Structure 1
C-alpha cells in the first residue's frame, strides 16, 4: 500500500486526532475479527509496523508470519517457546518474558494491541527509555510499564 505503515504515515502527514482514532478503530476491528474466527486466530506480532494504511485511509493488519489458530484448550499451535522469542519485544506481553514455555495467546495479542494503540495515540513507543533488547528485557522482568 502506497501510504505505508501507520508509523510512516503519521510521521509524513502529521495525522491528527480524528485520523488516529480512525486507525484505532480499524486496528480494533481487525483484531476482533481474528479473535472471533472459528477457531480464533492469534496474530502473534501486532505492532504499528504491521498495520498498513490503505488509499481510503483504513488501517489494515498485515504480516501474518507468526499467526496461529488457537486450539480449544486456549493454546495456540505451532509457535516456539520464548527461549527463541519470535515477535517484537516492545509489543510482547510480560508473561512471554517470564515463562520459558509461554506461547503467544489471544491475551498476549491484546497486550500487543494495547501497546499499538498507545503508540498510535501518543507517538511514544513502548518502553521508550530502553535502547537495547537487553535493557528492554530487564525492564519488563522488573515490572516496568510500557
Structure 2
C-alpha cells in the first residue's frame, strides 16, 4: 500500500451492514447497499466481478482526490481483490431517476433549476480537471439527490480512461454509436438527453424499438435527426438548450461552461415543468 492509498483505504470490519442488507440501488457497475461507518450511514457499492481490480485501484487514486459540492463524495474503499467495495456519502433522496418517477413530488422550476445547475457544475468540475475527466454515462440514474434536494454527480470515476465508446445506449451520441470514443462533447449530448428525461419525466424513446432507435440516431444522413420528443409544455429556453446539446456534430454542441452560464441566467419560471 502506498502512502497516498492509506488516505482512502477502509477496513471491511469498519463497515456494519443491515441484516438483511438494505439495497439502495443497482446499476451496470454494481449493487449499492447501506452500511454504517464510524457512526454514520454511508452507501457502499459492491463492484461487479467483471471490474478489474487493478483498474479499480487506479480509479480510486483519481476519484479520492476529487472534492466538489456537486460531486458525490467518495469516502474511501475496501481493497479486497475478491470483493472491492466503494464507500460513498449517503444521498437520502436517492437518484434523480427515482425522483422524476415519483408522482407525489411536484417538480417546479424553483426546485428543478437549482438541481440542473448542480448537475452542470459537477460536470464542469470534471471537464476542467487536468487531464479532463470524461464522465461517460450521464443520465438521471447517475445523479443523486440529498435531503436538501441538492443534486450531485455520481459514477464519474468509472470512466476516467477511454479506449472506445461507453455509456448507456439511448443516452449515447451518434459518434459513439458509430464506434467513436467518448469526449467532452459526448457528455454534453448525454446531458441533453437527461434534460429531456427531466421534462418528460420518463425514459428517452419510451416504447420504441431500441435497435431501430439506435440505428436512426447513428444515421447522420437522416433529414430529421432522431431525438427524444420534447413535451409541448417544455419551456422554450430549455427546449432550445436540449436541441443545442444533442446536435449531431460534436463541435457544434455548447461547452459545459456555456450550458452552466445559460442555466444560471434562467429564472425559475423559465424552467417550470
Say whether the fold is shared (TM-score over 0.5): yes
1:95 is aligned, of 164, 167, 175, to 175
State the 1:97 CA deviation.
1.1
Report which of the two structures shows the higher radius of gyration computed on alpha carbons: 2
2:193 is aligned, of 115, 118, 141, to 115
1:49 is aligned, of 125, 141, 158, to 141
Tell me, in whole angstroms, the C-alpha distance in 1 between the residues paired with 2:217 and 2:158: 22
Matched, 1:8 2:98: yes
Tell me, in whole angstroms, the C-alpha distance in 2 between the residues paired with 1:125 and 1:24: 17
The alignment partner of 1:44 has SS state of: coil
2:213 is aligned, of 130, 136, 139, to 136
State the 1:9 CA deviation.
1.6
- Determine the structure 2 residue equivalent to 1:71: none
After superposition, the C-alpha distances for 1:31-77 in whole angstroms (9 at most, x for unaligned) are 11111112111001000000000112111000125322xxxxxxxxx
Q: Could you tell me the TM-score, scaled by structure 2's length?
A: 0.44
The alignment partner of 1:66 has SS state of: helix
Matched, 1:79 2:149: no
Q: 1 or 2, which has the higher helix percentage?
A: 1
Tell me, in whole angstroms, the C-alpha distance in 1 between the residues paired with 2:101 and 2:227: 25
Q: Could you tell me the TM-score, scaled by structure 1's length?
A: 0.79
Tell me, in whole angstroms, the C-alpha distance in 2 between the residues paired with 1:54 and 1:22: 13
- Provide the aligned C-alpha RMSD in A: 1.8
More divergent stretch after superposition (134-143 vs 20-29): 134-143
Tell me, in whole angstroms, the C-alpha distance in 1 between the residues paired with 2:116 and 2:217: 25
Listed as ranges, the gaps of 5+ residues in structure 1 are: 69-77
Higher relative contact order (CA 8 A, sep 6+): 1
Aligned length: 131
1:24-63 matches, cutoff 5 A:
24-63=116-155
The alignment partner of 2:136 has SS state of: coil
After superposition, the C-alpha distances for 1:93-129 in whole angstroms (9 at most, x for unaligned) are 110112x3x1111110111111112212332433335
Listed as ranges, the gaps of 5+ residues in structure 2 are: 1-90, 220-224, 229-273
Q: Is the 8 A contact 1:45 1:87 kept in 2?
A: yes
Tell me, in whole angstroms, the C-alpha distance in 2 between the residues paired with 1:22 and 1:122: 18
Q: Is the 8 A contact 1:97 1:137 kept in 2?
A: yes
Tell me, in whole angstroms, the C-alpha distance in 2 between the residues paired with 1:35 and 1:47: 16
